[in-house]
Every structure is written in structure tokens, then in C-alpha cells.
Structure 1
Amino acid sequence: MLTPIVRRTIGATLAAAAFAGASPAIAGQCTAEGANALAGAPTAPKGVTDDVLGSIDLGPEIEVADRQLRMRKLVVQPGGVVPLHSHKDRPALILTVSGTIKEYRSTCAQPIVHKAGDLTREAEGISHYWVNEGKVPAVLYSADVHHGM
């Protein structure tokens, strides 16, 4: 059973997702476009919890086999890392709820700083990793279309 706060957060995230494509700018975007090879990127998580809050099998819902829409809560401790991963064929929206976190993205020459209230769009095959260089945990909610059931 989801708590009222989690239900409101999920609702707000999904509402933001519905309007994200129509918005000309999303906070915390790349300010220096360009290729980034992400040399030396971390490949293992560190100081991060990743809890699935809920999911929906998209096969019966909209006839998209072997996919699920899921909502996760990630807490990245100071010094913590969400390791290098790709969003090829796995779009997502990330809402930074509290704290500050840096994203190192394959399409951005400089890291992107995300703060509370920022919504990040992850799609079109980007690769990236996240690092919490702050002094407090960063709390993120992730809504993505994930492979496998």
C-alpha cells in the first residue's frame, strides 16, 4: 500500500511527465552541448538505495509486451554514485526531491547540477552517471519504461 505522500509524489511526477514534452526547458539541462566519452566513469553503485515503489505491466494496458512502467525512489548518500548506464530504449523522467546531485551525460561537455524540484528527461540513448558531491543525501524519484517482467 502506498502512503499518501508517495501517491502525491507519483501523481506529481506523472503530471510533470505528461507536460515535459510540451515544455521548452526543463530545469537542470545541459548548458554545454557536446560529446562526452565519459572516460573513467564509475561502473558500480556506491552509497545508493534503489527501491521500486510500484509498477504496471504495459502488455495488458497498452499492448507493449515485456515492458513495465515503474516508479522508484533513489537515495544517494554524500559521496554516493549511480553508475554509468544507458537509456537506449528505456526512457525515464527523474524528479530531484531534495538535495543536489551532478549528472555526467554523454551529450553534455559539462556536468549538469540538479537541485530539488528539477525534472530530468532521460531518453534517446543517452548514457550517464550521477554523483552526490553535496553534504546531504539526494532523494530522486524515477519513472521509467523498463524491460522485462
Structure 2
Amino acid sequence: MISHAALAVIPVLVATSSLLNVAPSLGHPRTTVVPEHENLVPAPGSAVTQGVLAVKQLGGQPLEQEFSGLRGRELRVRELIIAPGGTIALHRHDQRPGVAYILEGQMTERRHPGFSPLVVGPGEVAFEASGVTHWWRNAGHVPARVLVVDIVPLNTPWPWIHSKRDPR
């Protein structure tokens, strides 16, 4: 079950997304953590995305009927599970604002400028605005479960849009 705190960030994300330039953009394959075109030259310790145990598609909702300015976009919900020592490589969010809510474990985010470490633990969120450049590492001793809600280009409708879980 998703906590009230996690649900509370969704309207904020949708409201701030109206600031997006919604010109056509590159798609985001549903099985990847970060779209290929957002990857950057690796920072030390963030060379590759590794240790991602699962990317679970929990659902999505096209946003055009809610906000006409978001034509071709959807609100997507995923659960990521990252092993201890796992990393999500350096990348820059390209018209893909999001919120990462830590369900279990902890993740250390390093964000430009400065890339100072910020530990995000259970019940805490990190807002990832368009243009954010950062990378993540699970420096803990247990897998981290992260709920990620983001706005992405709508490639094709999902047959399970209104269901609770990806049936695959």
C-alpha cells in the first residue's frame, strides 16, 4: 500500500509539470531506469547502472485529458529495487520531472553542482525536476525499494493502465 505521504507528492508533481516544454521528445523504454539519451559522461563511482534487481511497472495515466498542455505525456509509477552497492549512473532529466520516495533501505544521491552526498531514507522523498543532473548509489546493507513517480512521453497505451499491477 502506498503511504499518504507518497500520494501527497503526486498533485505537486502534476501541478509543476505544467512548466514543461512539451515539444516532442525521445521516448523512455519501460524496462530501463534511465533513458539512453539522458546518460552523461560517468562521474567517479557512477560509471554504469548496476545492481538494479527489479523495475516494476505499477501503472500509468495519460495526462492529456487532465491537462491539455501535457499532450503526449503520462504520469508513470514504478518500483525500483536496488541491491546494496548498486548504482544508477550519472544522468540528466530531460523533460522528465519526478519524485523518488524511499519505501525501504536508503539511497545516497549526488546532485550537481558539487555532487555532495545526500542520504535519503524510508519515508523521505527526492524531487527530480527537469534539468537535474545526478546519480544514485545504495550504500546500505539491504536492498532499497524506491517508488518513482514521473512524467514521461507517452509511447503506447499500457493495457493495464487501470489495474493495480503489471500482469506480466
Q: Same fold (TM over 0.5)?
A: yes
**Partner Cα separation in structure 2 for residue 118 and residue 38 of structure 1:** 26
**Partner Cα separation in structure 2 for residue 119 and residue 11 of structure 1:** 13
Unaligned runs of 5+ in 2: 14-40, 156-168
When normalised by structure 2's length, the TM-score is 0.66
| Equivalent runs, 1:17-32 vs 2, <5 Å | 17-18=10-11
Q: Which residue of 2 aligns with 1:32?
A: none
Identity %: 32
Aligned-pair distance for 1:43?
4.7
Q: Which residue of 2 aligns with 1:62?
A: 67
**Partner Cα separation in structure 2 for residue 84 and residue 75 of structure 1:** 18
Distance 1:59 1:43, change over 3 A: farther
| Equivalent runs, 1:63-142 vs 2, <5 Å | 63=68, 64-142=70-148
Distance 1:11 1:57, change over 3 A: farther
Range with greater deviation from structure 2 (68-77 or 10-19): 10-19
Aligned residues: 126
Distance 1:109 1:131, change over 3 A: closer
Aligned-pair distance for 1:38?
6.8
CA-to-aligned-CA distance 1:48-97 (integer Å, 9 cap, x gap):
12211000111233222221100010111111111222223211111111
**CA-atom RMSD in angstroms:** 2.3
**Partner Cα separation in structure 1 for residue 94 and residue 79 of structure 2:** 21
